[in-house]
Amino acid sequence: MDILGVDIGGSGIKGAIVDTITGELKSERIRIQTPQPATPEAVAKTLKELVDQIGYKGPVGCGFPARIINGEVLTAANIDSSWINIKVEELFSKTLNTDVFVANDADVAGLAELSFGAVKDYKGPVLFLTIGTGIGSALFINGQMYPNTEFGHLKFKGDIAEHYCADSVREKEDLSFKEWGERLNKFLEYISFLTQPDFIVLGGGVSKKFDKYESKLTLKTKVVPAKTLNLAGIIGAACYAKTKLEK
């Protein structure tokens, strides 16, 4: 089944039609800059622009950087605060005049890795992290998602974890990959202790630079870079819609 997957982020809204059986893209990947301020109405309008550009009609899956429960946005860490309590599935479905299924961006990206990537079809406990402006997390066991974990917001080193070791912090504090890798290692040790996964899969932009900090990841749990790289959000969003349509 071909479904449009959309990854809504703080700086870009990206989408493509995905073959949910193979994980391959069936259209060009389109990226439109996230409008500023990224209010619900402005983002919905940009989403429509993206769908029109692709020329797609049909159900849509969306990854969104917040806790989403029953189609409603509950948190707004790196997005406009006006999103809180917005029924995002309803808003997008009305705007696009089709069914839109929305879940946390890290949860859907993790789904892509489980379906096609580094932990394909793995049944044991897996922790997926997406590291960019913030840190997103996704937990799976038996191929099932335990959604909205938000481990990037755990208290850590006197702040919250994503303020200590997100990729944006590496850039802002001008840390080398080795220095940043040491921080990441401490955080991974901590969540590994809490969740006891067999694997940690690292996604987001830093997954491409894995060799630059791998030597600093000395924790016992095996850590692997994501295979679907920066397409995880799009592919996973389409897969998420598929799981909802099949229910």
- Check: CB of residue 88 under 8 Å from CB of residue 203: no
Closest distance of CB 107 from ligand BGC, Å: 8
Residue 106 within binding range of ligand BGC, rule CB under 6 A: yes
- 71 burial class (0-12, 13-18, 19+ CB within 10 angstroms)? middle
Closest distance of CB 22 from ligand BGC, Å: 26
Q: Please pick, from the candidates 5, 23, 40, 152, the single residue that binds ligand BGC as defined by CB under 6 A.
A: 152
CB-wise, 44 or 103, nearer to ligand BGC?
A: 103
Residue 105 within binding range of ligand BGC, rule CB under 6 A: yes
Residue 134 within binding range of ligand BGC, rule CB under 6 A: yes
Closest distance of CB 230 from ligand BGC, Å: 13
Residue 78 within binding range of ligand BGC, rule CB under 6 A: yes
Q: Please pick, from the candidates 20, 115, 130, 207, the single residue that binds ligand BGC as defined by CB under 6 A.
A: 130
Q: Please pick, from the candidates 66, 118, 139, 201, the single residue that binds ligand BGC as defined by CB under 6 A.
A: 66
Residue 59 within binding range of ligand BGC, rule CB under 6 A: no
Residue type, 7: D
Closest distance of CB 215 from ligand BGC, Å: 25
Q: Please pick, from the candidates 23, 40, 59, 65, the single residue that binds ligand BGC as defined by CB under 6 A.
A: 65
Q: From 34-42, 98-106, 171-179, 209-217, give the range in contact with ligand BGC by CB under 6 A.
A: 98-106
CA 168 to chain centre: 15
CA-to-CA separations, 35 to 8, 44, 103, in angstroms, rounded: 11, 10, 20
Q: CA angle at residue 84 from 78 to 86, to 5 degrees?
A: 120
CB-wise, 93 or 104, nearer to ligand BGC?
A: 104
Q: From 29-37, 87-95, 126-134, 195-203, give the range in contact with ligand BGC by CB under 6 A.
A: 126-134
Applying CB under 6 A, the residues found at the interface with ligand BGC are 65-66, 75, 77-78, 104-106, 130, 132, 134, 136, 150, 152, 162
